[in-house]
Amino acid sequence: MFGLGSDTVLYYIAICLIAAGTPGPGTLAVLNSALLFGVRRTLPVMFGILFGMGVVSVATVTGLSALILHSELAFMVIKYIGGLYIGYLGVRILWPLFNSKQEAMKSQKSERKMTFVTGVILSIFNPKTLMFFTALLPAFIHQHSSLVSQTFTLTLILLLCTFAVHLAYSKLCTYVSDFFVRHMRWVDAITGLMFVCFSIVVLWLS
């Protein structure tokens, strides 16, 4: 397949599925949005994540990611933008919990909608995404085959695996949403704290 062996493709797909299924800011945003708004209204943030991953993939192949990782200033900028934004999402989710009025919490529900831009930022400004792509893609690219076709194939496989996993998570949320909505304060508390923890990890990332 476009210069890639069948065994290589299967191994790569397995890695992509595991990476997509592993909890992270993007996956957490998809889960939280699906619980609150359903699958259809979660699609924008999912597409935003895919778009951001595509941008990082292009940056990896062109060598831009490597330059960023080796530039202390560029890496720090991306790290702090990503880390602070993830922390902002966590605080935005946790803040209404300190308000005892349920009406106020419900009125702020629409303000917590995850958008396409949210997905893009979570992908592009996450240092872990840069490091993941920089380490993963070159390991599966063969020098004697077309770089463009291999990059396109590897990126497409990763995006499809990510979308499939996120869509499966979103569908699952629709089946359990009734239970979790009744306990939304606990869900918000856990989700917000996880975002804050992710933010701390990203900001402390060396």
Neighbours of 12 (CB within 10 A): 20
> 122 with 26: CB under 8 angstroms?
yes
The string over 18-32, giving b where at least 16 C-beta atoms fall within 10 Å of a residue's C-beta and e elsewhere, is eebbeebbbbbbbbb
What percent of the chain lies above the pLDDT cut of 90? 19
- Per-residue pLDDT of 50-104, as tens digits, reads 999 999 988 887 878 778 778 888 888 888 998 999 999 888 888 877 765 555 4
Flag whether 145 is in a domain: yes
Neighbours of 74 (CB within 10 A): 14
Flag whether 115 is in a domain: yes
CA angle 131, 201, 86 (to 5 degrees): 90
Flag whether 126 is in a domain: yes
pLDDT of residue 129 exceeding 70, the answer is: yes
For residue 42, what are the CA distances in angstroms to 97, 108, 146, 178, 184?
23, 17, 36, 17, 18
Give the count of domains, the chain.
Answer: 1
CA angle 88, 190, 121 (to 5 degrees): 35
The HSE-up count of residue 125 (CA atoms within 13 Å, CB side) is 22
Flag whether 180 is in a domain: yes
What is the pLDDT, as a whole number, of residue 66?
76
Residue 36's domain comprises 6-204
H or E element, residue 181: helix 147-182
- Per-residue pLDDT of 9-66, as tens digits, reads 888 899 889 888 887 888 889 988 888 888 888 999 999 999 999 999 888 878 787 7
Whole-angstrom distance, CA of residue 170 vs CA of residue 27: 10
> Confidence class of residue 4 from pLDDT cuts 50, 70 and 90?
low
Biggest CA-to-CA distance, the chain: 64
Flag whether 1 is in a domain: no
Q: What would the DSSP string read from start to end of 70-125?
A: H-HHHHHHHHHHHHHHHHHHHHHHHGGGG---HHHHHHTTGGG---HHHHHHHHHT
> Confidence class of residue 110 from pLDDT cuts 50, 70 and 90?
low
Residues 6+ positions from 112 with CB-CB distance below 8 Å: 32, 36, 92, 93
Q: Which residue has the higher pLDDT, 10 or 184?
A: 10
Flag whether 95 is in a domain: yes
What is the pLDDT, as a whole number, of residue 46?
95
